[in-house]
Amino acid sequence: MVEPGRIAVVHFTGRIAEGDDEGEVFDTTNVDVALEEGIYHDHRDYKPLEFRVGEGKVLEGIDRVVQDLSVGDRTTVELEPEEAFGPRREDEILEVPLDHLERDEGANGEGDGDGDETIEPGTLVGSETGDTGWVVSVDGETATVDFNHELAGTRIECEIHVLDARGSPGEGTA
């Protein structure tokens, strides 16, 4: 078992577990899976995920499941939204004045950076507080922006392969 406090090294593949996109891979650490599924990106470094178990740096469900596995184990589990990207929250959908939004250049690479890009439904935007969301609609001088994670409220399936576990519980923690 990979105890809390140890560094887990895992390959991870996440798929949508329900709805029209069921079975679609949304993330993977495995380059072969990325190529097979058509989601490979040149700018990404596909390598195993490393995290200290129990610190909450990965999805809650992954952290929990890894604690029941040993090096070499593989498993596939379904995670409810509460252990994945959280439930969809209506209070994360806000009316925002257009002049408080900026196109999020880092996420989609669109725009020329001069600030004159049109904000329309589907545009990824950043708020003055650094939050990122998707524009749902635009009405006059305001936009309705959904700041929920795009997979909030979605059950996911995770394939996890524990490649290594390093260190002792408590090692390297303050």
What pLDDT, on the 0 to 100 scale, is given for residue 113? 45
Q: Is 16 found in the same domain as 73? A: yes
Q: Is 161 found in the same domain as 128? A: no
Work out the widest C-alpha separation in the chain, in whole angstroms.
58
Encoding tokens for residue 135? 């524009």
What pLDDT, on the 0 to 100 scale, is given for residue 102? 81
CA atoms of 4 and 58, how far apart (whole Å): 13
**42 lies in some domain:** yes
- Domain hosting residue 42, numbered range: 7-86+151-166
Q: Is 97 found in the same domain as 67? A: no
Q: Is 69 found in the same domain as 99? A: no
**Residue 37 C-beta-side C-alpha neighbours within 13 Å:** 18
Label residues 130-157 b or e (16+ Cβ within 10 Å = b). Answer: eeebbbeebeeebbbbbbbbebbbbbbb
State pTM to two decimals: 0.80
What pLDDT, on the 0 to 100 scale, is given for residue 106? 54
**19 lies in some domain:** yes
Encoding tokens for residue 8? 């887990």
Percent share of the chain, pLDDT over 90:
78
Residue 173: closest CA among 23, 56, 74: 56
**What is the band of 170 on the pLDDT scale with cuts at 50, 70, 90?**
low
**17 lies in some domain:** yes
Q: Tell me the per-residue pLDDT of 65-107, one tens digit each, with 9 for 90 and over.
A: 999 999 999 999 999 999 999 999 999 999 989 888 888 765 4
Q: Is 78 found in the same domain as 102? A: no
Count of domains in the chain? 2
What pLDDT, on the 0 to 100 scale, is given for residue 100? 84
CA atoms of 147 and 142, how far apart (whole Å): 15
What pLDDT, on the 0 to 100 scale, is given for residue 171? 63
Mean pLDDT of the chain: 90
